[in-house]
Each structure stands twice: as C-alpha cells, then as structure tokens.
Amino acid sequence: MSVASDWNHARRVLCVRLDNMGDVLMTTPAIRALKTSVSGRTISLLASRSGAALGPYLTEVDNIITYAAAWVKNNNTHRAYDHAILKDLERRHFDAAVIFTVYSQSALPAALMCHLAGIPLVLGHCRENPYRLLSHWVKDGEPTQVVRHEVQRQLDLVATIGARCDDHRLSFSTTPADRSSMRQVLFTTQVDPDKGWIVAHCGATAASRRYSPDRYAKVFSLLAASGRSILLTGSTEEKALVEYIASRCGNTGHIVDLSGRLSLGELACLIEDADLLISNNTGPVHIAAAVQTPVVDLYALTNPQHTPWQVPHRLLYHDVPCKYCYRSICSEGHNGCLEGVEPEEVVQAALELLAGHSGVTRKSAAVA
C-alpha cells in the first residue's frame, strides 16, 4: 500500500503548530491541502494561545486545542497540564497527525505526544532518525541544502502523503460582526470609515525585528501629506510604544492611536479595508497577505523564509554581513538591517503601492 493510500483512510487529522500566530497563518495552505484532499476529513489544530486565537477565522479548521508546550517559550510550568493534554488527544482517537515546524525546531517532542496518544500515522520533518515516533519521516535539509518560504516548506511536507490543493493563499475569513464593531471604533475616534486609511503596526515580539520608533514617526509625518488617516495598531503591551510614536509625529490629525482597542477579528477587518499596511515582519503582515492588502514590510534579515506571501509588497532592509542570524535580539547591538533603511525609502515604497492600489472597493457595514 502506498503512503497516499495510508493517509486516504485518515478522516480525523490533528495538525500541530505550536509557535506564533504568523506561523499558523503560513501553514494554512498546507492545512487546506489536507482538508480538501480527502472527502469528509476533519481537521483539529493543536496550537499555542496566540495561534489558537485564529480558530474562528480559519475555515479549514474544525476544532482548536490550545496547548502551551513545554518545549516552546511560554509561562506554563504545570506538568499536570501536559498530562491533561495527552489524555485529551488520546480520547479524540485521531487517525493521523501532521507536525509543522520551522527548520530550527524539533518535531520529536510533539511526535512523542502523538505516539503516547496512540495516533498511528504521524508526519513531520526531522534531521535524525525518529524511528517509531514518525511513521512518515521527511528528512530536513534546511537551511544547508535548501531554503524555502515557510508556506512552501509546509506544502511540500503534506505533498509527500498526497495532500495537494490549487489555492495556496493564506487563510483568514473576516466576519460582518467584526467589521461592524471595527467601524464603530473608527467612528468613536473620528475616523471616517468611508475614506481611505493606512494601517501601521510598529511592534514585534522580537526586538531584532523592530524598526526604530523615531524613524517610524518620521515616516508617518511625511505620509500625512497623502491625506489618508494613519491608524497605529498594537497590543495593550505595545501601547506605550504607539503613544510615543504618535507624540513624535507633530500636530497632525491624520495619526490615530488604536493600540489595545481592537480584537483580532476587528484588526483583520481594519487591515482588509485599508489601502496599505506598513509593518515590521510580524503577524499582521501575514493577515494582510491573507486578506490581500498590500504591505510595506520592514524586513529584518533574521531569516529569509517569512516574507509576505502572494500579495503586492515591498521588502525594505539594509544588507548586512550578519544576515540570517535567526536571533530575537541583534547580536551586534545595532539592528543594522533595519536601521539602515531611511524613512524616505519607506514613504516611497508606500506611495508606489498606494498608486497601484487606487480604486479599491471598500466593504460596507451598518454601524451599530
């Protein structure tokens, strides 16, 4: 029996993606391939808290299981939690599991969980011989033998068991309710929801991927001349950053601080209805790719695999000898790959994409 034949009988499939939201989004084309390649197949996603937040917006995913894994950075320290997840997986009687990882992560801890949960078919990338932990082992040759976009890496993985699809776009399905509440937020901040705007997301989980606040402020001051509102987004934890940037932009009514005010669904609607997103390389870039909003991506050269996927974009960076360091904090202490980008370059890239995005049809919804 062929590998594809084995997997064609797998109706209940667990997808494991335990890192960040953007990583989950870049896995959605592969999940779609798994979902659509076998009639009646159901997909459950085992994800971190940030990844699990995507659940309501992923049409390919039927169930979400949230797990703060011991081998991924998080605040969970309770072993009883790990035992509970293992028992939960065992109770669900999965036919198969696919473990999605970046090349620097090991699939073996998750593979051991799947093995102990009695899941008979388990697919994943691995460098060393996994023996019985992976029933379907794909030798990991990245980054020494091949370097692929993260989306392509996962599509290639599931293709080895016969799962393919024609639609390789990222997945995020926005909702009318989120759009209506997003427009209400704009109304309360005196932003006309029927006029054009630019979304700017200036934070990132890794310090090595953050363009400097003062340079962002200069970008937005220069872009204010375009006449569009510039809506600054961010989490509650990033509010101080956003407030600082807004304060450095001068007295312009075009800069609006929306940090800490939007749910994930509202943020996605805001990005979908925007003329442009300007952002560091972080989750909102991949949301923009999913909803097809052009992106100016201030792309720290920490790795080459996470560029915007299948969406009009401009990558801005300064080439440095230390590129592709895969570090969360710049080991050189200067973030040179980002700080070498002049604000005027960001403005020029934005204007080029805005010129190509003219005439956009804006989605409408009644404001409650």
Per-residue pLDDT, 253: 65
Q: If you average pLDDT over residues 70-75, what whole number do you get?
A: 83
More confident residue, 171 or 300: 171
Q: Are 246 and 232 in contact (CB under 8 A)?
A: yes
Instruction: Determine the Cα angle at 308 with ends 152 and 206, to 5°.
Output: 100
Lateral strand order in the sheet of 197-201 = 255-257, 229-233, 197-201, 276-280, 295-298, 313-316
* pLDDT tens figures, 97-156: 999 999 989 999 999 999 999 999 999 999 999 999 999 999 998 888 889 999 999 999
Q: What percent helix, strand, coil does the chain show, rounded to 5?
A: 40, 15, 45
313-322: long-range contacts, CB 8 A cutoff, minimum separation 24:
313/289, 313/353, 314/349, 314/352, 314/353, 316/341, 316/345, 316/346, 316/349, 317/341
Per-residue pLDDT, 45: 98
Per-residue pLDDT, 64: 98
Q: If you average pLDDT over residues 59-65, what whole number do you get?
A: 97
Q: Nearest CA to 170 among 285, 271, 249?
A: 285
More confident residue, 318 or 59: 59
Any idea which of 17-26, 197-206, 247-256, 342-351 has the lowest mean pLDDT? 247-256
Q: What is the set of domains in the chain, with CATH numbers? A: 3-159 (3.40.50.2000), 176-356 (3.40.50.2000)
Burial 293-329 (b: 16+ CB within 10 A, else e): bbbbbbbbbbbebbbbbebbbbebbbebeeeebebee
Per-residue pLDDT, 4: 65
Per-residue pLDDT, 166: 96
Burial 331-363 (b: 16+ CB within 10 A, else e): eeeebbbbeebebebbbebbbebbeeeeeeeee
What is the DSSP secondary structure assignment for residue 232, as one 8-state letter?
E
pLDDT at 72 over 90: no
The secondary element (H helix, E strand) that includes residue 297 is strand 295-298
The secondary element (H helix, E strand) that includes residue 12 is strand 12-17
CA-based Rg of the chain, rounded to a whole angstrom?
A: 21
Instruction: Determine the Cα angle at 263 with ends 260 and 269, to 5°.
Output: 115
Per-residue pLDDT, 96: 98
Cis? peptide before 143, omega within 30° of 0: yes
Q: pTM for this structure? A: 0.92
| Phi and psi torsions of 24, nearest 5° | -65, -45
Helix (H, G, I), strand (E, B) or coil at 41: coil
Q: Nearest CA to 323 among 337, 342, 340?
A: 337
The secondary element (H helix, E strand) that includes residue 220 is helix 213-223
Q: Are 272 and 175 in contact (CB under 8 A)?
A: no
Confidence of residue 351 (pLDDT cuts 50, 70, 90): very high
Parallel, antiparallel or unpaired: strands 42-47 and 229-233: unpaired
Instruction: Determine the Cα angle at 229 with ends 291 and 342, to 5°.
Output: 85
Confidence of residue 330 (pLDDT cuts 50, 70, 90): confident
Q: Nearest CA to 198 among 255, 248, 143, 145?
A: 255
Give CA–CA dist 295/289, Å, rounded: 8
pLDDT at 49 over 70: yes
Q: Nearest CA to 297 among 285, 289, 288, 286?
A: 285
Give CA–CA dist 248/71, Å, rounded: 40
Helix (H, G, I), strand (E, B) or coil at 356: helix
